[in-house]
């Protein structure tokens, strides 16, 4: 059973209930991990700071 690489808390992942692409959040430190493989179970930390492209929704009322 893999632990959180950040705080070493047991993530309690049930390998039968996760699949590739699932995101698991460490309840202890809040770090997000993406499941990149299930056999064996492999996690990749989800990088923060990825900006969403929401600039299009910015106020821009041209007339």
Minimum CB separation of residue 18 from Zn ion in Å reads: 16
Q: CB-wise, 48 or 52, nearer to Zn ion?
A: 48
DSSP 8-state code for residue 48: S
Minimum CB separation of residue 26 from Zn ion in Å reads: 3
Is residue 57 classed as helix, strand or coil in its secondary structure?
Answer: helix
Question: How far is it, in rounded angstroms, from Cα 18 to Cα 60?
Answer: 42
Binding marks (x or -) toward Zn ion, 13..52, rule CB under 5 A?
-------------x-xx-----------------------
């Amino acid at each position: 059973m893999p632990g959180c690489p950040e705080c070493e808390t047991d993530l309690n992942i049930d390998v039968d209930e996760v699949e590739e692409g699932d995101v698991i959040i460490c309840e202890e430190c809040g770090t997000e991990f993406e499941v990149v493989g299930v056999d064996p179970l492999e996690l990749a930390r989800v990088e923060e700071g990825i900006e969403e492209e929401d600039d299009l929704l910015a106020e821009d009322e041209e007339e």
